[in-house]
């Protein structure tokens, strides 16, 4: 089996419980304004991690869903406020526009609350590599030439996410770990795998044509770092399922961080502490 057919690994060793400071952090596909958005996890990540530069790589706010009906939890507002606070305190924040927040393409080049709105950007790593940053939707033929199909697919994806939540609620009750139905389908359906491969190759080909050493994108909700014909391909994943970010350390190392583990470990530790305290306060008698 091709390893690209499998969901990305989630390695707890990639998570530092106290968080870290990085040269740069890339996050995308948060989809604020939708029930599927895991804003609480993202807020936890943003509180625990700082960076010199923060790139928001598109689909941060889901305008498509908000047009259908208003959904905006306090945690969604908290994420926005946290990003604005980081910008005020000196983090250089760049907002790369995606397809779900495409309305912001009318404001390219402008600055809102110290956040620069752009269609693309270039990041130079500590070791001198030049990375082209783009959401990736401009290289998605469905988005460009059959937008009605993209809307239909988005509605189907939303439905699958709802089913996924119910399914994993039951798994949690049975003491089982999280398992993504949509990721499984995405990586098992031949056409989906072919689309992902074509998407990755199109982006790296364009990055190479422009003279960049690599590309950083989002859009397809698949976190990955790999070399494609000598060009680095980095996808920072999403905050609906993967709960992942791409980071650059101060040594210039690029790596993926999957955040669910930190919060899950904290919740488990808190639960264990409560149970132990209850056991002490109410000892079992024979």
Each domain of the chain, given as residue ranges in start order, spans 21-267
Q: Which of 182, 259, 246, 261 is closest to 28 using CA atoms?
A: 246
pLDDT of 186 reads: 55
- Give CA separation, 31 vs 35, 128, 177, 248, in Å: 9, 32, 24, 23
Note the pTM of the prediction, 2 decimals: 0.72
Q: What is the CATH number of domain 21-267?
A: 3.60.21.10
Pick the more confident residue, 252 or 273: 252
Query: Vertex 244, ends 146 and 102: CA angle to 5°?
Result: 35
Q: For residue range 170-225, list pLDDT tens digits in order.
A: 766 676 666 565 665 555 544 455 667 788 998 999 999 999 999 999 998 889 99
CB atoms within 10 A of CB 162: 12
**Is-contact 243 160, C-beta < 8 A?**
no
pLDDT of 194 reads: 64
pLDDT of 19 reads: 66
Residue 138 pLDDT grade (very low, low, confident, very high; cuts 50, 70, 90): confident
């Amino acid at each position: 089996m091709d390893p690209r057919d499998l969901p990305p690994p989630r390695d707890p060793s990639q998570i530092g419980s106290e968080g870290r400071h990085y040269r740069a952090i890339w996050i995308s596909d948060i989809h604020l304004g939708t029930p599927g958005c895991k804003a609480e996890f993202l807020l936890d990540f943003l509180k625990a991690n700082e960076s010199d530069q923060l790139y928001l790589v598109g689909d941060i706010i889901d305008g498509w869903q908000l047009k259908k009906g208003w959904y905006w939890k306090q945690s969604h507002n908290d994420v926005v406020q946290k990003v604005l606070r980081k910008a005020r305190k000196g983090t250089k924040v760049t907002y790369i526009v995606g397809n779900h927040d495409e309305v912001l393409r009318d404001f390219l080049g402008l600055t809102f609350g110290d956040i620069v709105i752009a269609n693309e950007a270039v990041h130079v790593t500590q070791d001198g590599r030049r990375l082209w940053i783009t959401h990736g939707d401009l290289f998605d033929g469905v988005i460009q030439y059959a937008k009605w199909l993209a809307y239909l697919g988005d509605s189907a994806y939303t439905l699958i996410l709802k089913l996924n939540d119910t399914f994993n609620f039951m798994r949690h009750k049975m003491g089982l770990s999280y398992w993504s139905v949509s990721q499984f389908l995405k990586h098992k359906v031949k056409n989906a795998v072919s689309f992902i491969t074509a998407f990755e190759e199109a982006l790296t080909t364009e990055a190479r044509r422009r003279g960049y050493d690599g590309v950083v994108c989002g859009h397809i909700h698949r976190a990955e770092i790999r070399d494609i014909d000598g060009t680095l391909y980095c996808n920072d994943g999403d905050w609906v399922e993967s709960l992942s970010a791409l980071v650059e350390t101060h040594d210039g190392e690029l790596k993926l961080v999957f955040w669910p583990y930190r919060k899950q470990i904290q919740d488990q530790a808190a639960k264990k502490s409560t149970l132990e305290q209850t056991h002490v306060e109410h000892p079992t008698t024979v």
